[in-house]
Amino acid sequence: MNHRHDEANKLHPELLTIGEVFGGTTHYTVPIYQRNYAWQMEQIEQMLSDIYDAMDVRRGDYFLGNIIVAHPESGVYKVIDGQQRLTSLYLLLSQLGHTAHRGLLQYEARQRAAAALEKIASEDFNAQVAPDAPHGEDETTGIWQGWKYISQYLRQHFKGEDSKSKLEIFKKYVLGNVTVVRTTLPEGIDFNRYFEIMNTRGRQLQQVDIVKARLMAHLVDDAERDCFAWIWNACADMDAYVQIALKHENKELRTQVFGDNCSFVSVTSFDELLKCLETNPGQHGAGGINESVGLADAIKAYGQKSVEKTEKNKDTVHFRSIITFPSFLLHVLKIVQKDDADENEGHLDDKMLVKRFTKFLNGTELDKRNKAKEFAFELLRCRNLFDSYVIKREFTGTSDDDGDWSLKILFKDGFYKNTYSTKEKENEDDDTDAATKELLMLESMLRVTYTSPRTMHWITRLLRVLAKKHQGSKTIEESVLVSELRGYARDKLKDAFFDGEEQPQGFSIERIVFTYLDYLLWKEKPRPDFRFTFRNSIEHFYPQNPRDGQSGNGSVSKNLIDCLGNLALLSVSDNSRFSNDLPETKATYEHIINQSQKLKKMTEIAKIRWDDAAVLDHHREMVSLLKRDLEQKYPGIQSHEC
């Protein structure tokens, strides 16, 4: 046996800090067959928030993930897997003013992408001014969009007099404490064979599987374990109403659990659910496998499973949840623990799932058994309430590829109707009733504002109220939920815009200011066609750098360019289309204008004039609107002049 040959063909994993990844003379190139950089706001914000929280809370090293590279040739690693993460880190270091990484990442045979990375990483690059984005889609579009996402995140999280020192601490943490595993593939490996192995291996055990096994380990017999698994497996399918997932073909069982209308849980405890199962033989083990007690058995069972598709065909999906099952478990855990604080350490961080449940499962063995049963019952109840009172995406023949916001309850025989509708049956094209519409608009506003699952504390707030006040088959009054969520939004708005010594401007203005303004403007003058969409790029209505050769109805002074009165929130792609056009030209992009109530108001003004006086008038009107609403919770709140 040739031991030297065997040794040469082993993988070489290294745990490296980001400073080591982009240090020395190590270069990386992204092969031409790899796709262009394409991370969106959600992925970038998730990465940045994970790093920020790790620095702010845990103070230890933070493991970010894996990067797979080919055996280096002349000191250059080809990036086989992880290029999205690697490029995001490169863009982040550029924003943080790190210069040692310059030129260490290239895109093979893509000159524009290489030039964009070089410009972004250059020492004299002014991150205060947004660059001219390319018109249309090309290989640099994603890079510039990613740069903007990172820029706005940093400005919104590091502001105030000590922002520079905080950024320096963050930079040192990223370079010295954030780690990745860089695995080098053996020289001469067949990449196609490598990917075939990676894509066909058995499903790995996830934290959610470990939590399930540990909770079940404290139940005393097969009946309890089967009941637990029955609940857990049904709740895990976040894209189907839980009544449907819980053996919908057994109407007798469904009626026992959810009542005659099949809308809400009618039993009151885990033990009562257990009795329902006992009177309906054949319903045990709903997951289709013999649920085991021990963690070792759980690992064995999951190791024998084949890979499951994580993406569902939209043609076969009626609804899509706004959060994943691990995130939902953390919301429910807060309800069970009666945790009334909105934003405690790691409470919605699914990377801490096992840690949170380990802390939950303390006490005697009897305590642990009771906690497992209590959690299972609250999981079912909260999931039922979540399905009925928290928005989701619905795909119908009339909705576009992304679906439409939906707020519905399951009502008899698989029929859905708007949560507050008084009709027995509804058609697909029926108008949404006013009460459902109000709650749907408020929730969709919060959904597009707080895109990371770890920041969706409003869902916990909603579930907490529902768990306390909802009883029987009667829906809880919409005004109660609206009041709770508006209170949450007002707290966020106050912190974002009214609490500082100075009013935030430009990229420092947080998303909630724009989205809540759009909500208030919609309430003043409801538009049936208005929908909240994902918007993440701050648009200067009068541009920072006006396009040459255009004339318009006035101009705006430099000291007012970053004022709220001159700003709106758009998607990055729409911001790029606007580019440096003057307001009168932007007003002709009707499909873009319609995504923002504030922007629509601005375009109406701009048809007459858009100058310093118009900006100040609009600014004062918007701040006054926010202030009047905020005074309902915070009387005497003060605002600053632009």
Q: Which residues contact 15 (CB under 8 A, 6 or more apart)?
A: 179, 180, 181
Closest alpha carbon to 53 in 352, 288, 292: 352
**174 or 396, higher pLDDT:** 174
The rounded distance, in Å, linking the Cα atoms of 307 and 299 is 14
Task: Note the pLDDT tens digit of each residue in 492-519.
Answer: 999 999 987 788 999 889 999 999 999 9
**pLDDT value of residue 118:** 84
- The structure tokens listed for 17 are 């800090």
More confident residue, 605 or 74: 605
> How far apart are the C-alpha atoms of 594 and 475, rounded to whole Å?
33
Euclidean distance between CA atoms 71 and 176, whole angstroms: 25
Name the strands in the sheet holding 178-184, side by side, starting at the edge strand that comes first in the sequence: 12-17, 178-184, 62-69, 76-81, 27-30, 105-107
Q: What is the pLDDT of residue 2?
A: 42
CB 235 within 8 A of CB 381: no
Q: What is the pLDDT of residue 1?
A: 39
Asked if the model's pLDDT at residue 126 lies above 70, the reply is no
CB 86 within 8 A of CB 67: yes
Is 410 within 8 Å of 241 (Cβ atoms)?
Answer: yes
Digit-coded pLDDT (tens) for 458-485: 999 999 999 999 887 788 999 999 999 9
Distance separating alpha carbons of residues 151 and 44, to the nearest angstrom = 11
Res. 4: pLDDT tops 50: no
Q: Report which secondary-structure segment, H or E, holds 389.
A: helix 365-389
pLDDT averaged over every residue in the chain: 83
Least confident of 182-196, 414-428, 517-531: 182-196
User: Any idea what DSSP says for residue 191?
Assistant: H
3-state secondary structure of 95: helix
Strand partners, 68: 81, 183
pLDDT at 367: 95
Per-residue pLDDT of 113-125, as tens digits, reads: 888 888 887 754 4
Whole-number percent of the chain with pLDDT over 90: 44
Lowest-confidence region among 294-298, 365-369, 403-407, 624-628: 294-298
pLDDT over 90 at 277, yes or no = no
Q: Which residue type, as a one-letter code, is found at position 244?
A: I
Confidence band for 58, pLDDT divided at 50, 70 and 90: low
pLDDT tens-digit map of 160-171: 777 888 899 999
Q: According to the model, what pLDDT value does residue 292 have?
A: 41
Query: For residue range 290-335, what is the model confidence (pLDDT) as tens digits?
Result: 344 344 444 344 333 333 333 343 334 589 999 999 999 999 999 9
- Given pLDDT bands bounded at 50, 70 and 90, which one contains residue 575? low
- For residues 307 and 129, the model is more confident at 129
Q: How confident is the model at residue 8 (pLDDT cuts 50, 70, 90)?
A: very low
The percent of residues above 70 in pLDDT, for the chain, comes to: 82
pLDDT attached to residue 550: 64
Q: Dig out the tokens for 158 from the structure.
A: 């590091």
Q: How many CA atoms lie within 13 A of 157 on its CB side?
A: 17
How far apart are the C-alpha atoms of 231 and 329, rounded to whole Å?
13
* Cβ atoms < 10 Å from Cβ of 251: 11
What's the confidence (pLDDT) of residue 97?
Answer: 86
Tell me, what's the pLDDT at 236?
95
Three-state SS for 600?
helix
Choose between 495 and 32: higher pLDDT: 495
Give the mean model confidence (pLDDT) for residues 425-429: 66
Instruction: Give the CA distances from residue 379 to residues 61, 460, 470, 539, 613, in Å, rounded to whole numbers and listed in that order.
Output: 33, 13, 15, 42, 55
- Give the pLDDT score at 344: 58
Q: From CA 446, how far away is CA 511, in angstroms rounded?
A: 10
Residue 20 φ/ψ, nearest 5 degrees: -80, -35
Taking the C-alpha atoms of residue 567 and residue 538, their distance in angstroms, rounded to an integer, is 7
- 385 compared with 246, residue with greater pLDDT: 385
- Mean pLDDT along residues 620-631: 96
User: Which band of pLDDT confidence, cut at 50, 70 and 90, is reported for residue 204?
Assistant: low
pTM here?
0.80
Report d(CA 383, CA 378) in Å as an integer: 8
Q: Which pLDDT does position 310 carry in this prediction? A: 36
C-alpha atoms less than 13 angstroms from C-alpha of 204 in its C-beta half-sphere: 4
